Structure 1
Amino acid sequence: MPGDYFFGQYEGKLLTVLGSCVAVTLWHPRLNLSALTHFLLPGGKRFDPEDTHYGQAVFAQLQLDMARFGTHPSEYQKGLFGGGTQLQPKQGSNLNVASKNVRFACEQFAELGWQINQQALGGSYRRISLDARTGKITCTDLQDPNQLRIRA
């Protein structure tokens, strides 16, 4: 769900549905660690490092969790998804949340020196499934708003 954050070992599939939000995925093949995040906005006026509704907190928490498990970011397969919109924003508008989210996430990856192994940014809404056992990510474009429900 929006604002949810998972990092750890899991024996199944992690799922989320994205509109203008952005998800970061991580998978560590040797330790079988997975991460799936879902942030709504790049940051808030008052930064709360535990509020993963915001991208600032997500990237801070991912780094803390990697360190907590004694791992390095280069050991992970990384994905970046979301920032979709079903509406065309007004040209020059600074109110396009999807674009702001995508720009923020890409800037964070660049600043941290992280390579994106798989991505689907912009465009339509999506359902993301991360198989925590294998690291396989399935990204499905959603055209019908009725598909925006999470199904196992």
Structure 2
Amino acid sequence: MPYSHAAQAGPCELLLQPGDYFVGGGGCRVRTLLGSCVSIVLWDPLRRIGAMSHFLLARRPAGCRQPSARYADDALALMATRLGALGVDLRRCEARIFGGADMFGRPPRAGLPRIGLENGECARQLLSERGIAVHGEHLFGSAYRVIVFEPGSGAVWLRHGGAGLVH
């Protein structure tokens, strides 16, 4: 389910659930909790507009025709469309990538997918293909992450698996 935000009186707080994305501007704070899922955060410093996703899997399965922000390729395309409608040039955006943890802490076995790794690598590839510069990432490992994004300022905060807040 996409969220968008128009100017309003007072601060706005949104919690992105898996498969959600947000596009909007100032006065809002967007938060999500990630394990093996990944969040792509885009910010246009000129327009002071941003976007944030919370996707579960790298690619939409073959045979699934409906675009969904549950998948990295669709989430980025949906955010790009909404940002474009607001006059944002994606190549001007600063990107950050978070998540992709191995939440089960077991050694990889042949034939089993490594969903967190696939999600993180896919995010990197998709941003590269669109010419969007990655200005920071906090990927992989084995602990959850809480991400908080303020699209008006571009500020992003991270809490990683019980560690302190990182700015």
Gaps of 5+ in 1: 145-152
Q: CA deviation at 1:63?
A: 2.0
Measured against aligned partners, the alpha-carbon deviations of 1:83-137 in whole angstroms (never above 9, x if no partner) come to: 0123134244441111111121111112112110111010121000112221111
* Aligned: 1:98 with 2:116: yes
1 or 2 for the larger relative contact order (CA 8 Å, sep ≥6)? Answer: 1
Q: Which residue of 2 aligns with 1:32?
A: 48
Measured against aligned partners, the alpha-carbon deviations of 1:58-96 in whole angstroms (never above 9, x if no partner) come to: 121122123212221122221111101231342444411
Q: What secondary structure, in the 3-state scheme, does the structure 2 residue paired with 1:129 have? A: strand
Q: Which residue of 1 aligns with 2:131?
A: 113
Q: What secondary structure, in the 3-state scheme, does the structure 1 residue paired with 2:102 have? A: coil
Q: What secondary structure, in the 3-state scheme, does the structure 2 residue paired with 1:3 have? A: coil
CA-based RMSD? 1.8
Q: CA deviation at 1:29?
A: 2.2
> Structure 1 length as normaliser, TM-score?
0.85
> Structure 2 length as normaliser, TM-score?
0.78
Q: Is the 8 A contact 1:84 1:98 kept in 2?
A: yes
Written as runs of structure 1 = structure 2, the 5 A alignment for 1:2-151 is 2-42=18-58, 43-45=60-62, 46-49=64-67, 51-86=68-103, 87-123=105-141, 124-143=143-162
Gaps of 5+ in 2: 1-16
Q: Which runs of 4+ in 1 moved over 3 A?
A: 91-94
Higher strand share: 2
Q: What secondary structure, in the 3-state scheme, does the structure 1 residue paired with 2:113 have? A: coil
Higher helix share: 1
Percentage of identical aligned residues: 27
